Amino acid sequence: MLKSLKKDRVLYLMLLPTLLFFLVFHVIPILGMRLAFYDYRIKGDNIFVGLKHFEKLFSTPVFFQILKNTLIISAMKIFLFFPLPIMLAIMLNEFRSGPFRKGVQIVSYLPHFLSWVVIAGIWIEFLSPTTGVVNLFLNQLGMESIDFLTDKSTIRWVLLASESWRSIGWDSIIYFAAILGIDATLYEAAKIDGASRGAVIRHIILPELVVTMVTVLILNIGFFMNAGLDQVLNFTNAAVNSRIDIIDTYVYRVGLGSSQYSFATAANLFKGLVGTTLIVSTHLLSRRLTGKGAW
């Protein structure tokens, strides 16, 4: 162990900033979750109240609406978006032109590095009812303009589309790497047998991607309750707030806006417990059905 640490000390030093980041912003804050069971006071001792804040949370009428919104938006992002990076990775693998492939990769990766403030600005212009490209195209077809950002029937699809545009390239990296790692002899055997490209994809590439797909799906489901705070804050407005108000925005409002720190912590702890339950359940189900899991 010590020899390994000494030999790879440069790699461990490179890993240190990431470990410190997770320690400071993800591990240490877990200790603050105990506030969910106390009445927090800036001055004086906190008073233990047990499950009082959870009872208040479940008796709040708006809570079940935001829980419903969270589940619907998360389900759309996970299950409808899930096959898209796989399809892009397979498509990139089929490109025989190196420069063209690199160009597609760069264009698809770039949105991942943009903040949601910038992305929301782009999509607001893109979907503008008067000057947006989409509505100008609809007008050319003789159709009326649609205000996608204030229409309750379309706003969730806007969230899905903008999330897909931002993440499809970045999420395809792991699948593309897995495809490049497939044993070349499998392709040679398929070529000798006269298999078409479609057959190669169905019988070689997709089966070899199963482990990667299962792992990614389980990890995504672990973040099922994270419906996208930054995204929703930048796309929300009074007309559609009831359709995209999620647990994270609720915690943001009651915690930072109303200074109900203990109540907001209880809501966040509930979200974390649901996420943990989902990731363990999905892992066990996957192990039972496919024999493969996240660990």
pLDDT for residue 1: 60
Q: Give the chain's end-to-end CA distance (angstroms, integer).
A: 23
pLDDT of residue 101: 86
The CA distance from 293 to 274, in Å, is 19
205 and 179 Cβ atoms separated by less than 8 Å:
yes
Q: Which residues of the chain have pLDDT under 50?
A: none
| pLDDT at residue 235, as a whole number | 95
Looking at residue 295, its pLDDT comes to: 64
Sequence-separated (6 or more) residues with CB below 8 Å from residue 89: 172, 173, 175, 176, 178, 179
- Average pLDDT over the chain, rounded to whole? 89
Beta strands in the chain (DSSP E): 38-39, 47-48
Local structure of 77: helix, strand or coil = helix
DSSP 162-221: HHHHHHHHHHHHHHHHHHHTS-HHHHHHHHHTT--HHHHIIIIIHHHHHHHHHHHHHHHH
What is the sign of the dihedral through the CA atoms of 168, 83, 153 and 256?
A: negative
β-strand 38-39 against 47-48: which pairing, if any?
antiparallel
How crowded is residue 85: how many other Cβ atoms within 10 Å of its Cβ?
23
Question: Which residues 6+ apart lie within 8 Å of 81 measured at CB?
Answer: 160, 163, 164, 167, 168
Query: Minimal CA–CA distance to 161: which of 91, 71, 77?
Result: 77
Could you tell me the pTM of the whole model? 0.85
Question: Which pLDDT score is estimated for 11?
Answer: 82
pLDDT tens sequence across 224-247: 888 889 999 999 999 999 999 999
